[in-house]
Amino acid sequence: MDENGHTGEGSMAIAADVSVNMLLNDAHAWLRYAGGVTGLLVESLEDDDILHRQRTMLALGAVGTLVSMSVQCVAHAQKKMEWDKL
């Protein structure tokens, strides 16, 4: 992921020619973001007397998306590594 948060060639789609290293770096970044959002949610839920249901649901959806992107990056990296062995 570059300094602007772009994966591969500038979107959340994974570029076909991206390197294994970049894919694994992206996966690591997505998981760090997911961890940060999860930590923030935990703190928010512990501190607030009134839960903000809609915002919490959106944040949980974001965590799901971040984890999903990480899984996709790892899957593509594994495919590239297998392809390189052939």
Most confident of 2-11, 12-21, 56-65: 56-65
Name the band, by pLDDT with cuts 50, 70 and 90, for residue 10. very low
Structure tokens at 48: 């607030």
Give the residue from 82, 80, 83 showing the smallest Cα distance to 23: 80
* pTM for this predicted structure: 0.71
Q: Is the pLDDT of residue 63 over 70?
A: yes
Mean pLDDT for all residues in the chain: 81
Torsion, Cα 13 19 20 26, to 10 degrees, reads -50
80 vs 45, higher pLDDT = 80
